[in-house]
């Protein structure tokens, strides 16, 4: 429904040193003007920057998130970071199941669901990513894949407060390629109906973001698609001009 407040979310991936925080401050200062107050803003940063990013945007409504978390609260998991640690730094969101995690770290739907619950346990909102590969799209399997990923990675207790779903076709991430608006509409409508089937009324208001090569030049047409409730932005979230240019479509 159109009463859903859109979310403009960035994912810095493995990019950003302390010097990049000035870019974040520019985004936080300019976001409300750019979006006309119509959308919420979030940037997910590398773990090394969470604490400083939170301090950089203090006093604004800008939210900071992490890009992944471990399933456990604490323990013998060298190099991993728990949702509690992320919340302890003042972040409020965590991305789980990004395709780069699924591919590079072998994360399956069950793990992604556990990570979403770990985020909730710490009071974070989980951004659960789903999306088909190029081969799956070519084989006509897109809607089946999305159905399976939603069933496996979105826990039954998901609602609009604790969960955001991001549809990110793997072949559109970082490639400059985007699906047609008809394909985006079909995927998002399918995800909406699966969410309503699985979650009941709560599934009506869970935000569904589109991600994959969103830029200022294509954001208006993508964000206008039915059941697209915002964007998850990789490359174009690194520069304030680009991020605010996307926010300006609201
Ligand atoms: C992403 O990794 O979440 C993403 C959508 O990247 P890009 O915008 O660079 O395609």
Q: Say what angle helices 109-121 and 142-153 make with each other, to 10 degrees.
A: 40
Following DSSP, what letter does each residue of 166-212 receive, concatenated? EE--GGGTTTS----HHHHHHHHHHHHHHHHHHHGGGGGTSEEEEES
Please, what is the end-to-end C-alpha distance for the chain in angstroms?
16
Say if residue 9's pLDDT is above 60.
yes
- Find all residues with CB under 8 Å of 122, minimum gap 6, and list them: 69, 73, 82, 83, 84, 86, 87
Which sign does the torsion angle of CA 228, 230, 235, 240 carry? positive
Q: How far apart (Å, rounded) are the C-alpha atoms in residues 41 and 43?
A: 7
Average of per-residue pLDDT across 102-115: 98
pLDDT of amino acid 202? 96
Query: Does pTM surpass 0.95?
Result: yes
Q: How far apart (Å, rounded) are the C-alpha atoms in residues 165 and 133?
A: 17
Residue 123 assigned to a binding site: no
- DSSP assignment, residue 124? P
Residue 36 assigned to a binding site: no
Tokens at 190, concatenated: 């399918």
Say if residue 139's pLDDT is above 90.
yes
Say if residue 103's pLDDT is above 80.
yes
CATH of 7-247, one of 3.20.20.70, 2.60.120.10, 3.40.50.720, 2.30.30.90: 3.20.20.70
Backbone angles phi, psi at 69, to 5 degrees: -150, 160
Question: Would you call 226 helix, strand, or coil by DSSP?
Answer: coil
The Cα-based distances of 217 to 105, 166, 223, 250 in angstroms read 32, 20, 11, 14
Q: Give percent of the chain above pLDDT 90.
A: 99
Query: Torsion angle, CA of 77/120/225/170, rounded to 10 degrees?
Result: 10
Please give the number of the atom of ligand 1 that sits closest to the Cα of 173.
10
Name the residue ranges covered by the structural domains of the chain. 7-247
The full length of the chain comes to 250
Contact assessment for residue 219 and residue 231, using Cβ atoms and an 8 Å cutoff = yes
Please give the number of the atom of ligand 1 that sits closest to the Cα of 235.
9
pLDDT tens for 154-213 read 999 999 999 999 999 999 999 999 999 999 999 999 999 999 999 999 999 999 999 999
Q: Give percent of the chain above pLDDT 70.
A: 99
pLDDT tens for 27-67 read 999 999 999 999 999 999 999 999 999 999 999 999 999 99
Ligand 1: residue of 8, 214, 215, 218 to mutate (most ligand atoms within 8 A of CB) is: 214
Q: How far apart (Å, rounded) are the C-alpha atoms in residues 66 and 48?
A: 10
Q: 175 alpha carbon to ligand 1 midpoint, in Å?
A: 9
Backbone angles phi, psi at 33, to 5 degrees: -60, -45
Say if residue 2's pLDDT is above 80.
no
Following DSSP, what letter does each residue of 129-151 receive, concatenated? EE---HHHHHTT-HHHHHHHHHH
Q: How far apart (Å, rounded) are the C-alpha atoms in residues 95 and 196?
A: 22
Mean pLDDT over each residue of the chain, to the nearest integer: 97
pLDDT of amino acid 10? 98
For residue 28 and ligand 1, the question of a CB distance below 6 A is answered with no
Q: 235 alpha carbon to ligand 1 midpoint, in Å?
A: 6
Q: How far apart (Å, rounded) are the C-alpha atoms in residues 170 and 29?
A: 32
Say if residue 1's pLDDT is above 70.
no
For residue 213 and ligand 1, the question of a CB distance below 6 A is answered with yes
Which sign does the torsion angle of CA 232, 234, 240, 243 carry? negative
Ligand 1: residue of 233, 237, 239, 245 to mutate (most ligand atoms within 8 A of CB) is: 233
Question: Would you call 231 helix, strand, or coil by DSSP?
Answer: strand
Report yes or no for ipTM above 0.90.
yes
């Amino acid at each position: 429904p159109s009463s859903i407040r859109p979310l403009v979310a960035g994912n810095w991936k493995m990019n950003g040193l302390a010097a990049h925080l000035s870019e974040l401050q520019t985004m936080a200062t300019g976001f409300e003007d750019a979006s006309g107050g119509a959308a919420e803003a979030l940037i997910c940063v590398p773990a090394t920057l969470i604490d400083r990013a939170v301090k950089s945007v203090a006093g604004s409504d800008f939210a900071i998130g992490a890009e992944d978390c471990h399933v456990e609260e604490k323990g013998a998991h060298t190099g991993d970071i728990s949702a509690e640690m992320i919340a302890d730094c003042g972040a409020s969101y965590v991305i789980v199941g990004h395709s780069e995690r699924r591919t590079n770290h072998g994360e399956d739907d069950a793990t992604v669901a556990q990570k979403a619950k770990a985020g909730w346990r710490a009071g974070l909102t989980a951004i659960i990513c789903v999306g088909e590969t190029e081969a799956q799209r070519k084989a006509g399997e897109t809607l089946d894949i999305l159905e399976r990923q939603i069933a496996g990675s979105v826990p039954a207790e998901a609602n609009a407060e604790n969960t955001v779903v991001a549809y990110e076709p793997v072949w559109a991430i970082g490639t400059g390629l985007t699906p047609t608006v008809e394909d985006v509409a079909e995927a998002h409508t399918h995800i909406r109906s699966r969410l309503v089937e699985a979650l009941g009324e709560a599934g009506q208001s869970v935000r569904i973001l589109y991600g994959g090569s969103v830029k200022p030049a294509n954001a208006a047409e993508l964000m206008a698609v039915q059941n697209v409730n915002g964007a998850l932005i990789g490359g174009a979230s690194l520069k304030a001009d680009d991020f605010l240019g996307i926010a300006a479509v609201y």
